[in-house]
């Protein structure tokens, strides 16, 4: 009998663009509630993203976690290229799947219990996986950082075409209409998460290797303005999706019909599939404290 109560998850990420994906990966690796089955790069730049994933997993001592390479041509570059300069995927001690989508499908279909698919970027990988094997929707639940329901970027009262949706509305629509249970953190909640002052300093100055690697990536990502990494975090959108994989305690949840438009908006439409939406915070400060505690606890 399996007594492991951890939640099996796969992370699908466009890590290497906005730095919040790297914060989310670090948080995920420090969450004892989660059993990470694989991390897959999505939305192009396949080798660049896979290198960041693999190197972070090595730093964390988690080379038991397979890395999935997403589709796309060339290696790709981004704000964190300096951190993986000279790193070779062939050196990763764990498994690297050339066909990350195929490995994602196999992991879901072969799992004895439902997989939680945590998606923190545009979702062409997931749309392709649904086309290849529609039955994954029966064997997984979807948790994502997607959309803007009543508030937009920066807490604006004007809704936004949020990037993860706007980047590929067709893929997002396929995901949002699949039969799986869906939970999302739209900009209404995830767009308000920042660490500042003593909270940020605790993370910045933490000696844990994973947290140090996170801050190194943040400094690299800041480019010509490395002082940003001394003062405060960027907006940590994706950390909320990781939290929702195992808890909703600090959030107000609503079940809403959500329709994805061609322009990348997520519109409330009662005729659309109903989605669990984190539309407001019960206690944002408590979530910040929780995030700091997770990131400063020894791996």
Nearest in space to 105 (alpha carbons), one of 153, 60, 140: 140
User: CB-based contacts of 55: which residues, under 8 Å, 6+ apart?
Assistant: 83, 84, 87, 213
Nearest in space to 161 (alpha carbons), one of 261, 232, 64: 261
Cα–Cα distance, 249 to 247 (Å, whole number): 6
3-state SS assignment for residue 279: strand
Residue range 171-182, pLDDT digits in tens? 999 999 999 999
Cα–Cα distance, 247 to 237 (Å, whole number): 16
Say whether pLDDT at 53 is over 70: yes
Element (H, E) at 254: strand 251-260
3-state SS assignment for residue 39: strand
Percentage of the residues of the chain whose pLDDT score is greater than 70: 99
Residue range 137-150, pLDDT digits in tens? 999 999 999 999 99
Cα–Cα distance, 205 to 197 (Å, whole number): 12
Q: What is the mean pLDDT of residues 233-257?
A: 98
Q: What is the mean pLDDT of residues 108-134?
A: 98
Tally of residues, the chain? 299
Q: Does domain 7-149+156-294 have CATH number 3.90.245.10?
A: yes
* Mean pLDDT for all residues in the chain: 97
Q: What residue spans define the domains of the chain?
A: 7-149+156-294
Residue range 66-120, pLDDT digits in tens? 999 999 988 999 999 999 999 999 999 999 999 999 999 999 999 999 999 999 9
Residue range 284-298, pLDDT digits in tens? 999 999 999 999 998
Q: What is the mean pLDDT of residues 233-251?
A: 98
Q: What does the radius of gyration of the chain's CA atoms come to, in whole angstroms?
A: 18
Say whether pLDDT at 1 is over 70: no
Looking at residue 89, its pLDDT comes to: 97
Say whether pLDDT at 2 is over 60: no
Residue range 266-287, pLDDT digits in tens? 999 999 999 999 999 999 999 9
3-state SS assignment for residue 277: strand
Looking at residue 298, its pLDDT comes to: 87
Looking at residue 150, its pLDDT comes to: 98
Query: Which residue has tokens 């799992």?
Result: 111
Percentage of the residues of the chain whose pLDDT score is greater than 90: 97
Does this model's pTM top 0.75? My answer is yes
3-state SS assignment for residue 62: coil
């Amino acid at each position: 009998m399996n007594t492991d109560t951890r939640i099996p998850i796969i992370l699908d990420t466009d890590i290497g663009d906005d730095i919040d994906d790297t914060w989310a990966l670090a948080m995920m690796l420090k969450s004892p509630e989660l059993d990470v089955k694989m991390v897959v790069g999505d939305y192009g730049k396949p080798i660049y993203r896979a290198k960041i994933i693999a190197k972070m997993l090595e730093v964390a001592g988690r080379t038991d976690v397979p890395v999935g390479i997403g589709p796309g041509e060339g290696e790709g570059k981004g704000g964190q290229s300096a951190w993986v300069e000279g790193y070779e995927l062939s050196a990763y001690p764990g498994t690297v799947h050339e066909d990350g989508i195929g490995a994602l499908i196999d992991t879901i279909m072969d799992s004895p219990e439902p997989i939680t698919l945590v998606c923190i970027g545009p979702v062409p990988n997931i749309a392709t996986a649904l086309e290849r094997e529609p039955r994954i929707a029966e064997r997984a639940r979807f948790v994502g950082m997607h959309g803007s329901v009543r508030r937009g970027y920066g807490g604006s009262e004007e809704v936004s075409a949020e990037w993860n949706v706007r980047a590929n509305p067709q893929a997002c629509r396929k995901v949002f209409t699949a039969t799986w249970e869906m939970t999302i953190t739209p900009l209404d909640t995830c767009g308000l998460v920042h660490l500042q002052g003593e909270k940020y300093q605790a993370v910045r100055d933490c000696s844990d290797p994973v947290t140090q690697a996170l801050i190194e990536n943040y400094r690299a990502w800041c480019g010509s303005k490395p002082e940003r990494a001394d003062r405060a975090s960027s907006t940590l959108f994706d950390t909320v999706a990781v939290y929702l994989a195992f808890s909703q305690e600090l959030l107000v949840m609503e079940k809403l019909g959500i329709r994805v438009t061609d322009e990348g908006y997520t519109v409330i439409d009662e005729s659309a599939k109903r989605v669990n939406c984190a539309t407001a915070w019960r206690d944002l400060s408590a979530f910040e404290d929780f995030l700091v505690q997770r990131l400063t606890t020894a791996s």
